[in-house]
Amino acid sequence: MLLKLLLWVIRLLVILMLVVALLPLIPSGQWWVRLWDFPRLQLTGALVLPLLLLGVHAWLKRPRKEHAVWGVVILAIAGWHLTHILPFTSVWSTEVPTAEVQPGENRTTLKVLTANVTYTNDHYAEVLEMVQREDPDLLLLIEVNSAWAEGLAPLDEDYAYRVGEVRGEGLGIMLWSRIPLLEDEVKYLVSERRPSIFATIDAPGIGPVRFVGAHPVPPGLEERTVSNEDKRRDSRERDAELMLIARNVEQDPDNRWIVTGDFNDVAWSDTTKLFADLSDLKDPRRGRRLLSTYHAEHPWWRYPIDHLFVSDGFHLIDIDRVKVQGSDHFGLSTTLTVGQKDQGKPEASPEEEEEAQEMVEEGAEDAAEHDGG
């Protein structure tokens, strides 16, 4: 009786693991579908449980055909998850070339630090010390409210240029730059509540660099709608914002680009991959390290949702996580230099363009529903 119950537990566990592994393939913006994009690393580890139970049952009952079938299914699920994760390990080829810097060589570099400080966090002095220690040329901070703006006021002594918007509720975003800004603008791509930063940096020894800092709405976030009902957000507005940023890059392929921020989306999701395909931007983590940035306080429940993408013609010197005291995110510190462009720009397929346009239209509808709530 107990062995029969154990077998049913194994069957149900494997079926459940199979469902959540394949659920993100459904073309839906529903938050409870899209959220299963995130924990692929954790779900791979969780497969150890049904695999162990299966082994125990086979040992007690003697191996039979059903054990082999379920074993193959478990391994297939693990393989499916690993196809998403392995590109962000050293077994994969890199997208952004490693800069070959010779000893004593005076090479022009550009250091970018991106960090979500968490607006409820009050470790202003510690974060200020971290920024001064990292000493980036460009500093993008997310969830900057009035208290954070006041706490980080000393940055204005080191950074002559600043653009962004200070807002409450985790909606603020600010860029500090040591490098002159040829132009800068705060845009509201989808929602009037979600600002993004667009700037052109006059980088010495590099030339003009287009910069975008973004913080799309996370799927699953509970917000009040115009009908005064509390409702969990789906992914449509996030997806639309990423597609609109990609379209901006796509329309200006001759410039160098850096796009960074808290995308509230994992590096391997279909949306992020479509963003990369449309924009032809590269992820310097591919072929190197995963660098999961959230949740900083829970090592076994982390995802790579803070990103930095660059255009062809940038080479990587270093990329790493940075502890942001009191925040639930790690920062992302990236040092770049310029190099030869490696390839021509491929054209996005008509199907990809159509999919992106659908995301933009659906995101606009979702934003209209929530704005003013």
Contact 294, 330 (CB under 8 A): yes
Topology annotation, domain 109-370: Deoxyribonuclease I; Chain A (3.60.10)
For 58-73, what is the mean pLDDT?
A: 90
Of 350, 309, 345, 305, nearest in space to 328 by CA: 305
Strands 196-203 and 222-224: unpaired
Mean pLDDT value across the chain = 91
pLDDT band at 373 (very low <50, low <70, confident <90, very high): very low
pLDDT band at 366 (very low <50, low <70, confident <90, very high): confident
CA–CA separation, 296 vs 286, rounded Å? 21
Domain ranges of the chain: 2-88, 109-370
- Higher per-residue pLDDT: 372 or 312: 312
**What's phi and psi for 11, nearest 5 deg?**
-60, -50
Contact 205, 172 (CB under 8 A): no
Candidate from 151-160, 198-207, 342-351 with smallest mean pLDDT: 342-351
DSSP string, 91-150: TSPPSSPBP-PPTT----EEEEEEEE--TT---HHHHHHHHHHH--SEEEEES--HHHHH
Contact 300, 292 (CB under 8 A): no
Q: What does pTM read for this prediction?
A: 0.93
pLDDT band at 27 (very low <50, low <70, confident <90, very high): confident
CA–CA separation, 158 vs 178, rounded Å? 7
**Within the chain, where are the H helices?**
2-22, 31-34, 40-46, 48-61, 65-85, 124-134, 146-151, 155-158, 236-250, 270-279, 350-370
Please report, rounded to a whole number, the percentage of residues in the chain having pLDDT higher than 90. Answer: 75
pLDDT band at 220 (very low <50, low <70, confident <90, very high): confident
Taken as a whole, the chain contains a residue count of 373
Candidate from 128-142, 144-158, 331-345 with smallest mean pLDDT: 331-345
Q: Is residue 257 predicted with pLDDT exceeding 50? A: yes
- Higher per-residue pLDDT: 221 or 119: 119
